[in-house]
Amino acid sequence: MLVVNWYEPFLVLREVCGRRYRQYLAEVIPAFALFIGVVLFSLVVLMSGVIGISLWRSLVVIVISEAILLTIVYFIFRNSLGMELITSIFGRFFKRGTV
């Protein structure tokens, strides 16, 4: 029973997706670490800079900090296949003029 639980995803990754497990981990671990960093940064901004100021200033602080984080994420993953797909989808959406 335990063998199936760890070996089945390995087989699917290797045989169906045609990828090695180390390649998968090399892509997933940095993305997960970046996600944890973004969450921690957002928590620090929300807990320290937003409490005690007006609603509009707190919204401005949140929007600016999240825009900075999204820019960092974009520049880190801009050459990945997933980011190319996302940018092409948004590009087609904004090109249509349905905003």
Quick: pLDDT tens for 30-70.
888 888 888 888 777 777 766 667 777 777 777 888 888 88
CA distances 57 to 43, 49, 54, 61, 64, Å, are 17, 10, 5, 6, 11
The pair of structure tokens assigned to 45 is: 């901004």
The per-residue pLDDT for 1 is 44
Query: What pTM was estimated for this model as a whole?
Result: 0.52
* Burial of 81 from C-beta contacts in 10 A (0-12 / 13-18 / 19+): exposed
Rounded to the nearest angstrom, the gap between the alpha carbon of residue 11 and the centroid of all alpha carbons in its chain is 26
The per-residue pLDDT for 45 is 74
The pair of structure tokens assigned to 68 is: 């900075």
